[in-house]
Amino acid sequence: MAACSQSQVTLRPSNNSDTSFSIPIPIPPSRPPPVPSSGLAFQYITIYHPHYPPGNNILLKLAALDTPTGGLQYGYLTTICGILAGNKWNGWLEGRDSHGGRYSSSTSPHIVLPPGGYDFFLEPSSVEEPYPVVPCFRQWRFPHMELPPGDWQNYSAPASTNKNFSPSNISMALELRDASCRISGFSEGTKVAHVIPKEEGEWHQANNMHVYQCDINRSLDTDLANLLLLRADLHINFDKPLFTIIPKSSGAGDAPQLVVHIVQQSKEYQHMYHNRPVLEWRDIPPEFLFARLAWTVFPWIEGFLSTGLKKSHDCHWVIHRDDVAE
């Protein structure tokens, strides 16, 4: 075998005859879309608890990726803060200036707040009795019939037409329903992903989440409401979690769409996926997606809880179980 050029390989028979044929070699090799060398700023929004002293009051530090210059939607911020505060949707944000003062920010859920510091307020709350936070996902109670107003209440999942399958052919059912990765569209190299992680089965049971399943008699890891196909690399990063999936709309009156929301700094994923609509996610209810968002968010407050000052906790129950590997 002898290479004739960069674009082809010529094969000659072993009998040294003059007969030959060429195989074209594609040029250039397949590569991912280039990431812009500029314009993708790594910026952050810091959320403070207003009723704890400096050094003990940083509630969250969030990757702010909603615009090329940074920022996050106001409604997204108040939603995740409300989750941490025990499902309180009446809170608001006030900005912090460089001198430590506060200023009012827009309260439109679709406005993108620029990078910087913001206080999350709730009433009643004071320095003497600061509003409590739920310390972890397994102590968080799901807000049945009380999802945040706006995009979460306005989104509904499309249903699949064929739900008749047995537990032994879930993979076939997913192949028929999803056909390909529900983010990238690739049909090869897919894995079965769980919206609510399967190791959270006890939380799922304690919170009566079965009422949102396609079949209430199935387990968390065998019901189509909790399953979807993702390409293997996306599945890994979904479980890290590098991203979550939430409904977003661009303005009042617009129907929300499910989009990828990147929650950690990643040039490639930010460029390729952030705020991009997913392919149709059939059967997966907004309640499961909301639980997934909460599961994603709670580890972010470990720093707030681990400071020297004792924090006020909002605890409903504790679910004890050994960690289960995927």
Q: What percent of the chain has pLDDT over 70?
A: 80
Q: By mean pLDDT, which of 60-69, 136-145, 168-177, 235-244 is the weakest?
A: 168-177
Q: What is the pLDDT of residues 104-141, one digit of tens each?
A: 777 789 999 999 999 999 998 889 899 999 999 999 99
Average pLDDT over residues 297-302: 97
- Please name the helix (run of DSSP H) or strand (run of DSSP E) that holds residue 31, with its range, or none: none
Tokens of 290: 């909301």
Average pLDDT value for the chain:
86
Specify the pLDDT at position 252.
76
- Cα→Cα distances 115→54, 73, 156, Å: 19, 11, 31
For the cut 50, the answer to whether the pLDDT of residue 246 exceeds it is yes
Tell me how crowded residue 155 is: count the other CB atoms within 10 A of its CB: 20
Q: What is the pLDDT of residues 269-298, one digit of tens each?
A: 999 999 999 999 999 999 999 999 999 999
The rounded distance, in Å, linking the Cα atoms of 257 and 279 is: 10
Q: What is the pTM of this model?
A: 0.85
Angle, in degrees to the nearest 10, between helices 74-84 and 286-297: 70
Under the banding of pLDDT at 50, 70 and 90, the label for residue 2 is very low
Q: What is the pLDDT of residues 58-114, one digit of tens each?
A: 999 999 999 988 999 999 999 999 999 999 999 999 998 766 667 777 778 999 999
